Structure 1
Amino acid sequence: MNQQIPNPSLAVAGTAKTPRILVLGNEKGGSGKSTTAMHLVVALLRQGRSVGVIDLDARQGTLSRYVENRRVFSENEGLPLPLPELRQVMRSDAPTRAEAEEEERTKLSDALEGLSDCDMLVIDTPGSDSRLSRLGHTLADVLISPMNDSFIDLDLLARIDPEGRKILGPSVYSQMVWEQRQDRARQGGRPIDWVVLRNRLAHLDARNKRDIARLLAQLAKRIGFRLAPGFGERVVFRQLFPQGLTLLDLRQSGADLTMSHLAARQEVRALLAAIGLDIPEESHA
């Protein structure tokens, strides 16, 4: 059976516009993918854009629960929080690989069709290599890969020598992204803009932090991604999940802003600016 991933330019064929697609992807859990995705979603909503969310990691469903928590909090508190449209795509349990691939392809195409009127789509992918993850990566106009600032996470991008000083070659995730870029190019799609975020940065300078920065700068040139500032290790990001809130909602929700909140909001703004999605200071963020 044909293994090709569907051309993103054809996935919403017959519609008047083609949404821009942001994909959150890596192959390691706990890197802040869902937190980053939700802040991007809310930033786009607060720009007045219509936003669709597709959760390809629907079995774990962290982003789906984040959106649902936001809906419930908005209703219970009477706050008119902007909300995205959400679609979930579950991994197929079909008995054969061919049937599973066809089912997943169809489900994803249906989700894209249902969100074809949106200005922007944000797709969250599973934290492992799978057919659905590869489908999602090929759709990306912008691929955003959060990573914790550690050699463990760096190992997903590159093989490093035992001393942690030299890049030996690309690793499993980088190879997968390269393959999906090739598939997209063969189908006539625009090049994928790959952005790697350094999340959970230590606030103190350290040799480990400097070594990772140096290696990432080398790797960015070698395999073709851009580096962008991510989020520091701040409790506030985890505290907002049960209400479905982001740091861009705190003023509207009436929360008292602490110095930690303000510092974290600046991190969010720096990330948005790096991706080209910055929002003006006079907005409700």
Structure 2
Amino acid sequence: MAHIIVFGNEKGGSGKSTTCMHVATALARLGHRVGGLDLDVRQRSFGRYIENRRAWMARNERDLPTPDYRELPEIDPATLQPNENPFDARLSAAVSALEPHSDFIVIDCPGSHTRLSQVAHSLADTLVTPLNDSFVDFDLLARIDPETNKVKGPSIYSEMVWNARQLRAQAGLKPIDWIVLRNRLGAQQMHNKKKVGAALEDLSKRIGFRVAPGFTERVIFRELFPRGLTLLDLKDTGVDQLNLSNIAARQEVRDLMTELRLPGVTVGF
């Protein structure tokens, strides 16, 4: 069976789709068969990223390792079982179609709570939650005492992940490996950065996730999206000399792929 990697976060602007695209492309570059789904049926950032990539390849007559991205299929209501949710059926059909041809399936969830996102979390073998490094985004995971910075209790999103874990346990599936990425980290050791880090480490022990560094805020990520490219594609597109910022960013991608600890994946790019 394909290993399913879900990128989930109910707040927008965390770099979720950018992270999803880089992980999916990295796996494809390492020779793995990668399927892709975007559950944000309105914004479709991951889907648009893939469309931009295909368009760039067509314009430049180049072939780059690319995930096998699929749209969610439409479902005939007459085929649904009694009380079956049509969104559940669409996601199940999409995963079933990709699974025979995929080693990994990456699923990008919307930045809001939806039925599709909820079901996708229960399918996750690996759950990646990118988080901007601030207490504004920390609130996604837990409520915190403003005076002591102590965690008061889990948030609705954390409770959703807990419920997904319970569903998997009832089905006899292996536990979700949950990784929280600290995206858009500042270069300086600021006091607030240390407090966020301490709060994340405390919470990770209580509700069971791993903390990992994600991507630093860099202009290059925004520049690559319209062409559908990732940092791993630059040399294939005629960029012979990477600047120091791009080299550092590529190392962040390597570090992330290593930290994910995906089965059968040896990072060698």
- TM-score class, shorter-chain normalisation, is over 0.9
Summarize deviations over 1:69-95 as a string: whole Å, max 9, x none: 001101111111112111233899x9x
**2:66 maps to which of 62, 66, 83:** 83
Structure 2: state its 5+ residue gaps.
none
Task: State the superposition RMSD in angstroms.
Answer: 1.8
Map of 1:166 onto structure 2: 150
Map of 2:202 onto structure 1: 218
User: Deviation at 1:59?
Assistant: 1.4
User: Deviation at 1:42?
Assistant: 0.7
Q: Does 1:153 align with 2:141?
A: no
**1:273 maps to which of 247, 250, 258:** 258
How far apart in 2 are the matches of 1:73 and 1:81? 10
How far apart in 2 are the matches of 1:100 and 1:242? 41
Map of 2:113 onto structure 1: 129
Letter in 1 for 2:121: H
Give the TM-score normalised by the residue count of structure 1.
0.87
User: Deviation at 1:228?
Assistant: 1.0
Task: Name the stretch that deviates more: 83-92 or 61-70.
Answer: 83-92
Distance 1:74 1:87, change over 3 A: same
User: Deviation at 1:99?
Assistant: 8.5
Structure 1: state its 5+ residue gaps.
1-17
User: Deviation at 1:164?
Assistant: 5.6
Map of 1:260 onto structure 2: 245
Map of 2:172 onto structure 1: 188
Q: Does 1:244 align with 2:228?
A: yes
Map of 1:232 onto structure 2: 216
How far apart in 2 are the matches of 1:103 and 1:27? 22
Give the % identical residues.
Answer: 52
How far apart in 1 are the matches of 2:74 and 2:136? 27
Q: Does 1:203 align with 2:203?
A: no
Question: What SS does structure 2 have at the residue aligned with 1:88?
Answer: coil
How far apart in 1 are the matches of 2:213 and 2:146? 27
Question: What SS does structure 1 have at the residue aligned with 2:140?
Answer: coil
User: Deviation at 1:134?
Assistant: 0.6
Question: What SS does structure 2 have at the residue aligned with 1:38?
Answer: helix
User: Deviation at 1:163?
Assistant: 2.5
Summarize deviations over 1:102-159 as a string: whole Å, max 9, x none: 2111111111121022111000111111111111000000000000001010001010
Contact 1:143 1:192 in 2 (8 A): yes
Summarize deviations over 1:230-257 as a string: whole Å, max 9, x none: 0001111111001100001111111241
How far apart in 2 are the matches of 1:67 and 1:174? 29
Letter in 2 for 1:267: E
Contact 2:10 2:140 in 1 (8 A): yes
Question: What SS does structure 2 have at the residue aligned with 1:197?
Answer: strand
4+ long deviations beyond 4 Å: 98-101
Question: What SS does structure 1 have at the residue aligned with 2:51?
Answer: helix
Summarize deviations over 1:8-52 as a string: whole Å, max 9, x none: xxxxxxxxxx10000000100000110000000111001111110
Letter in 2 for 1:182: Q
Contact 1:56 1:90 in 2 (8 A): no
Give the TM-score normalised by the residue count of structure 2.
0.92
Aligned residues, how many? 260
Letter in 2 for 1:280: G
Contact 1:101 1:131 in 2 (8 A): no
